[in-house]
Homo-oligomer: A and B are copies of this chain.
């Protein structure tokens, strides 16, 4: 699978969101930072981590966002 491409009005191409990137569950992110999964969700609620929502309102986190935070975000 490859990243999405978008055709602009002038005919050029631009890359879209990379849908191949793995999404991490709250539990996985929690183990990475050594905190409770509920804490990870609180980070999402307070805007400290961008989150993706499943159709049933559960949260998933982009690996690149987590990596950025680990590097001092």
Contacts and interface: CB of A to CB of B under 8 A. Distances in A.
Interface of A: 6-9, 14, 16-17, 19, 22-25, 27-28, 31-35, 39, 43, 48-49, 52-56, 60, 63, 66-67, 69-70, 72-73
Contact of A17 (B17, B55, B70, B72): B70
B49 A70 contact: no
A52 B33 contact: yes
B34 A23 contact: yes
A32 B8 CA distance: 12
Copies in the complex: 2
B70 A52 contact: yes
Contact of A34 (B8, B24, B31, B32): B24
